[in-house]
C-alpha cells in the first residue's frame, strides 16, 4: 500500500498535464496554415482595395504632373503628353474660384461640425436621462433622416427653400419677415442645415452607444460624490454657526447634521450641577439604505424626538432655572464648554439624553426622520417639471426632423397647380394615387428599373463588402504576421480619402479596361469598406476569444472553417452594423454613378430622381413625378433604419 501511495504521489508531483493532441494535423502543417490563412482572408479585400483606392490615387498623382500639348490649331498635327512639374498646381492655386471654394469649405467645417456635435451630444444626454419620456420614438425620429439619400434630401429641402413652394417662407411673410434661403450670403448655411438634418441622428446614435458602454458604477459614484459635496457645504455652515443649536437636519439631500455622512445629531447630555447642555454630534455607523414601509411611519414614543433633543435648554441654567442673558458658553481647546459661571461641560459619552433617555443606537433610523431613499429622491413636483421641460425640448427637435418628411407626404398628394396655390403644410385635393400611377408608368416604368438598380448596387455591394471586411478584420486581429501593421495602416488611410477624389481617375481606369458605363463600374467600388474592416478588427479582438480558436484547431478544423463557423457567429452585431453602413452609403451614392454611367437604364434611383428634378422648369408635370418618386424612394430606407437601429446601436456598443 505504501509503495502504491508513493507512486501515486510521485505521479501527481512529477508529471505535467499533457496537451490534447490535434487530430490528424502535424505541427508543421499547423504552422504553415496559420501563416497562409491571414493572407487568404485578406486577399479579396486587398485586391478590390488596390484596384479602387491605391491605383486611382497613384494614377491621379502621376497625371497631376503631366500636361497635354497639341500641335496645330486644332491638334491636327498631333497630341503629346509631356511632364509639366508643378505647373498644374500653380494654375489651380491661381484660380480665384478654386481658392474661394477652399475658404468656403473651411468656414463650413468650422461652423457646421461643432454645431452638429453639440446638438447630437445634448440629444444623446437628454434621451439617456431618467426624465426622458418616449425615448424610443424620439431616437427613431432623429435617426430617420440618415436613411434619406443626400440627393433626395437636397430635393426635399429644395422645395422648402424655393419661394412659392415653401410654406416656411409664406408663414414668415405673414409676420413681415423676408427669407431668402438661396441668396448669396445664405445658401452656404442652407446646405449646412441639410447636412445637420441628415447626420445629427447618426452621430447621436454613436454617442448613445458610447454612453451605454460606461459602467453604472461610474454614475452611482457621481451621484454619491454630489451628495458628499452637499455634506461638505453643510459642514462649513455648521462650523460657521457653531454657537447655535441644531434644530433640524442640515441638508435635505443627506439628512445629517455634521462633518460627514456617518454622523447624526444626538441629544444633549443630562443636566448636571456644573455642566451645560449643548447639542453634540456623535459618530455612528451609516444607516442601512433599506427600510421597511412600516419603519418609515413615525411612531409615538416617550423618548424625545431628534428635534426636541436638538433644541437644548440653552436658555436655562445648569440647575434647571432660566439662564440670564449673558455671554454664551465658550468651547475650550479640548472640547470643554465654559459657561458664564466658570464651570466646564464635557461631551457626554454615556449615550443618554435628557432625563436619562437612551440615545438611538448606531444604524437605527431616528423616529420621525425620513428614510435614506426619501432624502435622496427629489420631490415629485421637481421630477414632473423636469420631465415636462425635457419632453418639450425633445418634441421641438423632433419637429425639426419630421417636418420635411411630412411636407413631402403632403406634396405627393397634390397636383402641380395645388403645389403653388395652397399652403405646403395643408392637404388639398387628394391626388396621391394618380401621382403614384404616373411615377410607375412614366417612360415604360423607368422608375421601377431605377429602384431595382439601387437594390442591386446597394444589396449586393453591402453584402459582399461586409464579408470582405469581416474576413480582413479577423485576419488582422487574430494573426501575427509580417507586414500586418503596414497593411492595416494603409487600409486605415483609405478612410480619409473621399469617394469624389477617386471617382475621376477610377473612371479613366475603367474606361481603359472597357467596363465603364456598365453595372460593374458602380458595383466593384462598392465591394470594399475600409471603415468596415476597422470596425470588424476592433470587434474581433473583443469578442472572438483565443481559447475558442485554439479549441477548433485541437478538433482538427481548418483556419477557414474556424472563421466561418465560430468567428462569424461571434461577430454578428458588428456585421449588421457594417452592412447597414455600407447599404446606406451605396444607396445614397450619387457622384460615382454620375461619372460612370451614360445609359439612363443603368441609373440608380438617386441619379434618376435628380434627372427628373432638372426638367421641372421645362415640363411642370415633373413636379408631380419628383414628389411622388421621392416619397416612394425614402419609405424602404426609413423603415429599415427604424427597425434595425437597435442592431446598429448594439454593434457600436459591443465593439466599444
Domain membership of residue 340 (yes or no) is: no
CB-CB contact of 574 with 651 (8 Å): yes
Q: Is 165 helix (H, G, I), strand (E, B) or coil?
A: coil
Residue 462 confidence class, pLDDT cut points 50, 70, 90 = very high
Q: How big is the chain, counted in residues?
A: 656
CB-CB contact of 539 with 651 (8 Å): yes
CB-CB contact of 318 with 271 (8 Å): yes
Helix axes 605-613, 150-161, angle to 10 degrees: 20
pLDDT at 13 exceeding the cut of 50: no
| pLDDT-above-70 percentage for the chain | 68
Helix axes 135-143, 622-654, angle to 10 degrees: 120
- The Cα 352–Cα 299 span in angstroms is 20
pLDDT at 503 exceeding the cut of 50: yes
In order, the DSSP letters of 116-151 are HHHHHHHHHHHHTSTT-SSHHHHHHHHHGGGGS-HH
Residue 230 confidence class, pLDDT cut points 50, 70, 90 = very low
Q: Which domain holds residue 158?
A: 95-213+388-430
Please check whether residues 592 and 564 belong to one and the same domain. yes
Domain harbouring 586, CATH code: 1.10.3720.10
Per-residue pLDDT, averaged over 248-271, amounts to 42
pLDDT of residue 649: 57
Separation in Å, CA 519 to CA 272, 354, 597, 604? 102, 95, 9, 10
- The Cα 533–Cα 40 span in angstroms is 15
- The segment with the largest mean pLDDT, out of 129-138, 318-327, 586-595, is 586-595
Domain membership of residue 107 (yes or no) is: yes
Mean pLDDT of the chain: 75
**Which long-range CB contacts under 8 A does 102-106 form with residues at least 24 apart?**
104/188
Q: Mind spelling out the 3-state secondary structure of 26-83?
A: CHHHHHHHHHHHHHHHHHHHHHHHHHHHHHHHHHHHHHHCEEEEEECCCCCCEEEEEE
Residue 279 confidence class, pLDDT cut points 50, 70, 90 = very low
- The segment with the largest mean pLDDT, out of 51-55, 162-166, 316-320, 335-339, is 51-55
Domain membership of residue 178 (yes or no) is: yes
pLDDT of residue 424: 80
**Interior/surface letters 440-474, b for 16+ CB within 10 angstroms, e for the rest:** eebeeebbebbbebbeebbeebbebbbbbbbbbbb
pLDDT of residue 652: 55
pLDDT of residue 107: 93
pLDDT at 452 exceeding the cut of 80: yes
CB-CB contact of 306 with 365 (8 Å): no
pLDDT of residue 178: 86
- The Cα 199–Cα 585 span in angstroms is 12
Residue 146 confidence class, pLDDT cut points 50, 70, 90 = confident
pLDDT of residue 518: 93
Q: Mind spelling out the 3-state secondary structure of 201-267?
A: HHHHHHHHHHHHCCCHHHHHHHHHHHHHHHHHHHHHHHHHCCCCCCCCCCCCCCCCCCCCCCEEEEC
- The Cα 287–Cα 370 span in angstroms is 12
State the cell numbers at 599: 445609359
Q: Which residue, of 430, 459, 487, is where some domain finishes?
A: 430
330-331 and 337-338 beta bridge pairing: antiparallel
pLDDT of residue 368: 53
pLDDT at 397 exceeding the cut of 80: yes
Domain membership of residue 57 (yes or no) is: yes
In order, the DSSP letters of 157-209 are HHHHHSTTT-HHHHHHHHTT----TTSTTTHHHHHHHHHHHHHHHHHHHHHHH
Please check whether residues 519 and 642 belong to one and the same domain. yes
Of 294, 447, 257, 272, nearest to 354 by C-alpha is 272
Residue 129 confidence class, pLDDT cut points 50, 70, 90 = confident
Please name the residues in contact with 351: beta carbons below 8 A apart, sequence gap of 6 or more: 282, 358, 359
State the cell numbers at 535: 470596425
Please check whether residues 514 and 567 belong to one and the same domain. yes
Per-residue pLDDT, averaged over 13-30, amounts to 53
Residue 498's Cβ-count burial label (10 Å; 0-12, 13-18, 19+) is: exposed
| pLDDT-above-90 percentage for the chain | 22
Please check whether residues 607 and 634 belong to one and the same domain. yes
Tell me the pLDDT tens digit for each residue of 608-652: 988 888 888 777 778 888 888 888 888 877 777 777 666 665 555
Domain membership of residue 279 (yes or no) is: no
CB-CB contact of 655 with 574 (8 Å): yes
Please check whether residues 170 and 252 belong to one and the same domain. no
Of 536, 398, 436, nearest to 478 by C-alpha is 536
Q: Which residue, of 396, 430, 464, is where some domain finishes?
A: 430
pLDDT of residue 189: 92
Separation in Å, CA 302 to CA 281, 326, 355, 357? 22, 33, 11, 9
pLDDT at 457 exceeding the cut of 90: yes
Please check whether residues 621 and 589 belong to one and the same domain. yes
Domain membership of residue 59 (yes or no) is: yes
The Cβ-side half-sphere exposure at 457, using a 13 Å CA radius, reads 29
Please check whether residues 515 and 393 belong to one and the same domain. no
Please check whether residues 443 and 394 belong to one and the same domain. no
pLDDT of residue 332: 45
Please check whether residues 57 and 40 belong to one and the same domain. yes
- The Cα 563–Cα 570 span in angstroms is 10
Separation in Å, CA 408 to CA 417, 427, 454? 16, 11, 21
Residue 516 DSSP class: T
Q: Mind spelling out the 3-state secondary structure of 376-391?
A: HCCCHHHHHHHHHHHH
Domain membership of residue 491 (yes or no) is: yes
Please check whether residues 412 and 444 belong to one and the same domain. no
* pTM of the entire predicted model: 0.67
pLDDT at 27 exceeding the cut of 90: no
Please check whether residues 573 and 654 belong to one and the same domain. yes
CB-CB contact of 475 with 41 (8 Å): yes
pLDDT at 229 exceeding the cut of 90: no
Per-residue pLDDT, averaged over 45-72, amounts to 88
Please check whether residues 570 and 612 belong to one and the same domain. yes
Q: Which residue, of 371, 405, 430, is where some domain finishes?
A: 430
pLDDT at 340 exceeding the cut of 60: no
Per-residue pLDDT, averaged over 497-508, amounts to 87
Q: Is 327 helix (H, G, I), strand (E, B) or coil?
A: coil
Domain membership of residue 16 (yes or no) is: no
State the cell numbers at 518: 456598365
Other residues' Cβ atoms within 10 Å of the Cβ of residue 205: 23
The number of folded domains in the chain is: 3
CB-CB contact of 645 with 142 (8 Å): no
Tell me the pLDDT tens digit for each residue of 549-596: 888 888 888 888 999 998 998 888 888 888 888 888 898 888 999 999
Tell me the pLDDT tens digit for each residue of 87-115: 889 988 999 999 999 999 999 999 999 99
Per-residue pLDDT, averaged over 2-27, amounts to 47
Amino acid at each position: 500500500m505504501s509503495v502504491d501511495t508513493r507512486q501515486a504521489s510521485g505521479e501527481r508531483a512529477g508529471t505535467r498535464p499533457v496537451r490534447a493532441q490535434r487530430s490528424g494535423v502535424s505541427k508543421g502543417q499547423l504552422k504553415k496554415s496559420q501563416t497562409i490563412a491571414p493572407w487568404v482572408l485578406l486577399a479579396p479585400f486587398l485586391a478590390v482595395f488596390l484596384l479602387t483606392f491605391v491605383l486611382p490615387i497613384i494614377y491621379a498623382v502621376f497625371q497631376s504632373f503631366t500636361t497635354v500639348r497639341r500641335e496645330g490649331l486644332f491638334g491636327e498635327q498631333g497630341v503629346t503628353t509631356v511632364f509639366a512639374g508643378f505647373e498644374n498646381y500653380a494654375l489651380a492655386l491661381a484660380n480665384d474660384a478654386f481658392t474661394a471654394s477652399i475658404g468656403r469649405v473651411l468656414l463650413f467645417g468650422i461652423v457646421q461640425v461643432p454645431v452638429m456635435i453639440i446638438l447630437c451630444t445634448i440629444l444623446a444626454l437628454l434621451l439617456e436621462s431618467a426624465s426622458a419620456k418616449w425615448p424610443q420614438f424620439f431616437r427613431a425620429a432623429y435617426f430617420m433622416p440618415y436613411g434619406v439619400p443626400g440627393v433626395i434630401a437636397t430635393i426635399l429641402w429644395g422645395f422648402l427653400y424655393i419661394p412659392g413652394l415653401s410654406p416656411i417662407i409664406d408663414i414668415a411673410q405673414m409676420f413681415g419677415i423676408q427669407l431668402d434661403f438661396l441668396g448669396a450670403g445664405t445658401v452656404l448655411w442652407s446646405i449646412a442645415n441639410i447636412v445637420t438634418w441628415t447626420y445629427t441622428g447618426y452621430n447621436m446614435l454613436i454617442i448613445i452607444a458610447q454612453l451605454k458602454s460606461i459602467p453604472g458604477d461610474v454614475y452611482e459614484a457621481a451621484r454619491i460624490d454630489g451628495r458628499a459635496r452637499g455634506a461638505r457645504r453643510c459642514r462649513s455652515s455648521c462650523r460657521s454657526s457653531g454657537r447655535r443649536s441644531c434644530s433640524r437636519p442640515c441638508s435635505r439631500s443627506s439628512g445629517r447634521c455634521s462633518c460627514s455622512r456617518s454622523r447624526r445629531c444626538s441629544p444633549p447630555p443630562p443636566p448636571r450641577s456644573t455642566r451645560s447642555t449643548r447639542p453634540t454630534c456623535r459618530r455612528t455607523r451609516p444607516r442601512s439604505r433599506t427600510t421597511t414601509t412600516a419603519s418609515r411611519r413615525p411612531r409615538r414614543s416617550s423618548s424625545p424626538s431628534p428635534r426636541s433633543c436638538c433644541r437644548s435648554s440653552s436658555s436655562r441654567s445648569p440647575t434647571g432655572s432660566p439662564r440670564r442673558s449673558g455671554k454664551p458658553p465658550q468651547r475650550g481647546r479640548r472640547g470643554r464648554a465654559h459657561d458664564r459661571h466658570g464651570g466646564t461641560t464635557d461631551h457626554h459619552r454615556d449615550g443618554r439624553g435628557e432625563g436619562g433617555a437612551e440615545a438611538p443606537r448606531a444604524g437605527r433610523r431616528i423616529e420621525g426622520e425620513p428614510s435614506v431613499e426619501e432624502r435622496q429622491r427629489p420631490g415629485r413636483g421637481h421630477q414632473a417639471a423636469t420631465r415636462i421641460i425635457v419632453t418639450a425640448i425633445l418634441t421641438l427637435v423632433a419637429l425639426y426632423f419630421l417636418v420635411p418628411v411630412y411636407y413631402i407626404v403632403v406634396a405627393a398628394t397634390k397636383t402641380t397647380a395645388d403645389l403653388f396655390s395652397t399652403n405646403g403644410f395643408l392637404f388639398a385635393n387628394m391626388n396621391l394615387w394618380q401621382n403614384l400611377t404616373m411615377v410607375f408608368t412614366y417612360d415604360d416604368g423607368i422608375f421601377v428599373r431605377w429602384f431595382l438598380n439601387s437594390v442591386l448596387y446597394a444589396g449586393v455591394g453591402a453584402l459582399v463588402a461586409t464579408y470582405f471586411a469581416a474576413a480582413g478584420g479577423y485576419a488582422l486581429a487574430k494573426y501575427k504576421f509580417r507586414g500586418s501593421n503596414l497593411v492595416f495602416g494603409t487600409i486605415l488611410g483609405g478612410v480619409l480619402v473621399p469617394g469624389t477624389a477617386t471617382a475621376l481617375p477610377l473612371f479613366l481606369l475603367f474606361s481603359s479596361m472597357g467596363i465603364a458605363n456598365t453595372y460593374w463600374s458602380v458595383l466593384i467600388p462598392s465591394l470594399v469598406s475600409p471603415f468596415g474592416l476597422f470596425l470588424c478588427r476592433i470587434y474581433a479582438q473583443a469578442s472572438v476569444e483565443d481559447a475558442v480558436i485554439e479549441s477548433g484547431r485541437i478538433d482538427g478544423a481548418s483556419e477557414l472553417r474556424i472563421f466561418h463557423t465560430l468567428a462569424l457567429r461571434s461577430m454578428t452585431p458588428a456585421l449588421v452594423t457594417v452592412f447597414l453602413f455600407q447599404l446606406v452609403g451605396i444607396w445614397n451614392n450619387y457622384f460615382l454613378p454620375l461619372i460612370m454611367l451614360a445609359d439612363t437604364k443603368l441609373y440608380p434611383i438617386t441619379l434618376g430622381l435628380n434627372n427628373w428634378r432638372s426638367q421641372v422648369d421645362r415640363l411642370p408635370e415633373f413636379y408631380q413625378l419628383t414628389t411622388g418618386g421621392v416619397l416612394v424612394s425614402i419609405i424602404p430606407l426609413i423603415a429599415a433604419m427604424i427597425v434595425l437601429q437597435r442592431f446598429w446601436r448594439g454593434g457600436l456598443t459591443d465593439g466599444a
